[in-house]
A and B are shown apart, each in its own frame.
Chain A
Amino acid sequence: QSALTQPASVSGSPGQSITISCTGPMIDFDDYNYVSWYRQHPGKAPKLMIYDVSSRPTGVSNRFSGSKSGNTASLTISGLQAEDEADYYCCSFTNTHYDFGTGTKVTVL
């Protein structure tokens, strides 16, 4: 059972913005920055979209942004596009292990 809770599904129309939440006890610490986000299309390997709460890897669109407040981290996708339809996972690192969130299916209407 994951220590990180995400909504099972989020949907939006093309061009809209959506936000995926990720709640976990370790995220609540002010200096805790070990949160990353991954996108996974069906049958494909995951792809890193955000690391260290809000940093974007080279090549990832600036439509993707990350933030943290209290015990909740968030991934916001602005200007929703058809290609954004996928599963999204948050991930945290604590002491000696990683935890992945329960996963959120994003549907573009």
Chain B
Amino acid sequence: EVQLLESGGGLVNPGGSLRLSCTASGFTFGTYAMSWVRQAPGKGLDWVSGITDSGHYTYHADSVKGRFTISRDNFKNTLYLQMNSLRAEDTAAYYCAKLNGPVAGYGMDVWGQGTTVTVSS
């Protein structure tokens, strides 16, 4: 079964850091691009970051550029999101998603169940 499982969410103070992980199973992880998408409570979907199959190219939304870093370890079948300088507006459920191709532009055909990040003092 194709599956994505996020972890690493939690409560963090403003200005703090957190690293999210997404462990993949059931497909050849290293041949697909991946993305992180978030959803603030009661709000719509908000794309955060993307990375190509090899990890050579990464993309970030303007709202997180310079603060968040997406990366992947294809040997561990794991996607990461390092989040620094967190703000209250980063509070959201964070989903990892598999793209149905090796580079950006494809649809997101598999989603994890999400992990919640709360930024508050």
Contacts and interface: CB of A to CB of B under 8 A. Distances in A.
Tell whether A and B belong to one assembly: yes
A45 B107 contact: no
A96 B104 contact: yes
Contacts of B107: 36, 48, 50-52, 57, 91
Contacts of B108: 36, 38, 46, 48, 91
Interface of B: 35, 37, 44-47, 50, 59-62, 95, 97, 100, 104-109, 111-114
State which size class the interface on A falls in: 20 to 34
Contacts of A103: 44-45
A93 B103 CA distance: 11
27 contacts: A34-B105, A36-B107, A36-B108, A38-B45, A40-B45, A45-B111, A45-B112, A45-B114, A46-B37, A48-B100, A48-B109, A51-B100, A51-B106, A57-B100, A89-B44, A89-B45, A91-B47, A91-B108, A93-B105, A97-B50, A97-B59, A97-B60, A98-B35, A98-B47, A98-B104, A100-B47, A102-B44
Given A93-B105, A97-B62, 5 more contacts: A46-B108, A96-B104, A98-B47, A98-B50, A99-B47
Nearest to B111: A45
